Structure 1
């Protein structure tokens, strides 16, 4: 069996790859593994379970809840809420497990199961591996230990989760948003109620789009992967900014008053300066990934802020932040983690903090984001090659060295193996887009010839 867990839980086409049987079995296995690890020692375990609005989330939620209760875990069902809300409530309620059913920005047919440990933190790789092992042992015949009588878990709805999460978001804002007009694109997803409520309570005038989920329209032509509607709405309504979430609202992208995109790197730059000025940016350091735009790195260096770069994936950003005590990190895609207030990327919190900076300074979003110049970035995927030799091919090393000499200090080359496909990603940044395209094209040709 291939590894079920990816970088963000178990994900696949609902009712094909991700079945009710798999969701139930993983939930029981998670309960047993955490019990073996001593997580439940001395008390009756509790889990918080939430989901995004996908139609498949209804039967998958039923399977997860059944699995946990059959393993002796009491379940608090919070309904449709963002992933960061489930993580927050897991910690705030002292629960032993959090479970979120979502496939994030993926299309509607997909869904996923993501587990959180006590405190609302993602499970360590070794715990995920152990859950897979225990699940597979049961699937091939090993019986579960099953409680009976009063030992089975009880299931209840926790409707207070919505208000408790919104109150948390409002409570951590440094200032109100009075006077701002904000367009919110909720991707017909998990934040369709939460985000408008939070922005309105914070004082903003809001316009919402993509806020009518019906179980089938999540991420459909809207949200952080489709900014066209948001751009148009911001301009049409004369708004100060627009905020776009993905299906589970763990990411945030923005649009300025002119309808121009503000990506995750630019949002990080704005928040880094805000937190530095407030004395909250510990060690004057921000964490990004190897895909962070070179313009972001140059801007941070100019402002006296160090940039630590990790492998691609918000879990690696978070690992670095926790290990070294950093307060802010994120990805170009809009996953932004403010560790003092969240244990995972939180798109609503990110949008609120970005708007708060605008309100506090009286400056436009375009002006604030202008702290960094986003250098042109060209990405070419080269398929059907031996990706394992990307770091050892002499021919490729020579080509990369030549490209780096040509680009100089205002350019960058990155060759990266795909984690799931037989391809190599060639990324080139340069001050000039034509140069970036030319260099990337040449390197892609060398990858084909050297690794094909």
Structure 2
């Protein structure tokens, strides 16, 4: 079955525009309810979390209407991080979970992500089945079997308590000053609270959401705000999350940024030394830097690459029995602790490394030298297929030949936005710029 609604991370788009409309959310809720409610009994439940976007209210209510119409009982968590939904879906014995969020995207976007009863995101096959139900005649529940909806007031508190358990039992953060940038998003309450309860002096940033300022000049995609706060307050560390807190960037005491590749390298090295890195490998996507692969090889470890998207990282981890993976963009997946990327728990693992080694953040954020990498995006309009253009194909073919033996090239469509992503790595920075610039120019001419 093919999927049209679902991308690499659920259904996503501009709020109040197809497919992110109230009508579609209602049908998605009803379809998911019909997919998971395998009998006529009213014991089935679903948990729904959201980030702080204004459109979250609309989508939450529409999803609830669709779900209850097919007999599902809905447990509303309010604003919580995406990993909290995965955790609470399992903890509350729900049939599935839903997160309403467009992650790092601006406030005018939104999305709907589904989690199975095990807390992991739905497979492509399951999403395709839900999508097929959306397109069909959805059978409603009988009047006496309509579901109920209930607010869960302590869901966030349950996640906070769990997050603290992932930090070493006897460890504490007293004496450390930490900037936490919550991107005016889903972790604006949980993240500062966890750090404070563990003993850190907390400098909160991006904790005043108004429905429209999520990811706006803050968070993991705009680290300058956190970097300035780190320097201004003389902090020991900066932790910068995205809108739904499944991504993280780490900043040292000088404001230097460590992306997901550097964080994964640190954790892989530490876990391997402690004998807890399962399978002797780290799972990452094709976007991860070649320098990471070389670093792991030097440690006697492997890098297993997947398609872009944390869901594909997790699928490979589960297939191979690995417990550490992620993306350069900051998704750090530690299946010992969470079913999806968890920016806060990844930040706690970095803090644990600081506490246990006594080293400054600046001594830990640079695990390997990166191979020069360049990434540029080209936006295209609906219905266009720029990568199918003959001239674009020819330029890509010539570029691949030029990079043979000295670098690599990756051209792909974004799974969440109408963008062509052009990425290349090469030790020769002049050649790198030429190759990327030539492909971008060809794609721009095609659109």
Fold equivalence (TM over 0.5): yes
**Distance of 1:422 and 1:153 partners within structure 2:** 37
Q: Say whether the 8 Å CA contact 1:180–1:359 is kept in structure 2.
A: no
1:6 aligns with 2:7: yes
Distance 2:15 2:377 in 1: 27
The one of 227, 232, 254 equivalent to 2:223 is: 227
Residues 394 and 275 (structure 1 numbering): CA distance in 2 closer, same or farther, change over 3 Å?
A: same
Any conservation in 2 of the 1:68–1:153 contact (CA below 8 Å)? Answer: yes
Deviations 1:287-310 (Å, cap 9, x if unpaired)? Answer: 111110111111111112210011
* Partners of 2:8 and 2:415 within 8 A in 1: no
Equivalent of 2:30 in 11, 28, 31: 28
1:107 alignment partner in structure 2: 106
CA contact (8 A) 1:264 1:332 kept: yes
In structure 2, what is the equivalent of residue 65 of structure 1? 64
Q: Against the structure 1 CA distance between its residues 165 and 395, is the aligned structure 2 distance closer, same or farther, given a 3 Å change threshold?
A: closer
2:154 aligns to what? 160
Unaligned runs of 5+ in 2: none
Task: State whether structure 2 residue 197 is matched by structure 1 residue 197.
Answer: no
Residues 1:393 and 1:57: Cα distance change in structure 2 (over 3 Å): closer
Matched, 1:148 2:143: yes
Q: Is the 8 A contact 2:42 2:72 kept in 1?
A: no
Change (3 A) 1:119 1:419: closer
Offset from partner CA, 1:378-415 (integer Å, 9 cap, x none): 1244677752489x96774454223224xx3xx33333
Q: Deviations over 1:38-74 (max 9, x none)?
A: 4x69771111111111111112111112221221111
Give the deviation of 1:439 after TM superposition: 3.8
- Any conservation in 2 of the 1:53–1:214 contact (CA below 8 Å)? yes
Which string of whole-angstrom CA distances, capped at 9 and with x for unpartnered residues, describes residues 294-339 of structure 1? 1111111111221001111111111100111100000111011001
Listed one character per residue, the Cα deviations across residues 72-123 of structure 1 (whole Å, up to 9, x for unaligned) are 1111111110111011100111110101111111111111111111011111
Tell me, yes or no, if the aligned pair for 2:395 and 2:439 is still in contact at 8 Å.
no
Q: Secondary structure at the match of 1:122?
A: coil
Pick closer, same or farther for the CA change 1:387–1:268 going to 2, 3 Å: same
Number of residues of Structure 1 aligned to a counterpart in Structure 2: 439
Query: 1:419 deviation in Å?
Result: 5.1
Report if the CA contact (8 A) 1:166-1:197 is conserved.
yes
Pairing partner for 2:422 from 423, 426, 446? 426
| Secondary structure at 1:222 match in 2 | coil
- Aligned pair 1:88/2:87, yes or no? yes
Identify unmatched segments of 5+ residues in structure 1. none
Q: Kindly report which structure 2 residues correspond to 1:11-410, keeping only aligned pairs within 5 A, or say none.
A: 11-17=12-18, 18-35=20-37, 38=38, 44-138=43-137, 144-149=139-144, 151-174=145-168, 175-381=171-377, 386-388=386-388, 396-405=396-405, 408=406
Shift of the alpha carbon at 1:136? 1.6
- Mapped to 2, the partners of 1:443 and 1:107 lie a distance apart of 27
Distance 1:183 1:381, change over 3 A: closer
Check 1:395–1:89 CA distance in 2 against 1; reply closer, same or farther (3 A cut).
closer
- How many angstroms apart in 1 are the aligned matches of 2:191 and 2:280? 30
- C-alpha separation between the residues in 1 aligned to 2:408 and 2:3? 34
Indicate the RMSD between aligned Cα atoms, in angstroms: 2.6
Would you say the 8 A contact 2:387–2:393 is kept in 1? no
| TM-score, normalised relative to structure 1 | 0.90
Shift in Å, 1:355: 1.2
CA deviation digits over 1:193-237, x for unaligned, max 9?
Answer: 000011112222110011011112111111111111111110111
Change (3 A) 1:188 1:316: same
Distance 1:154 1:416, change over 3 A: closer
C-alpha distance in 2 between matches for 1:283 and 1:355: 25
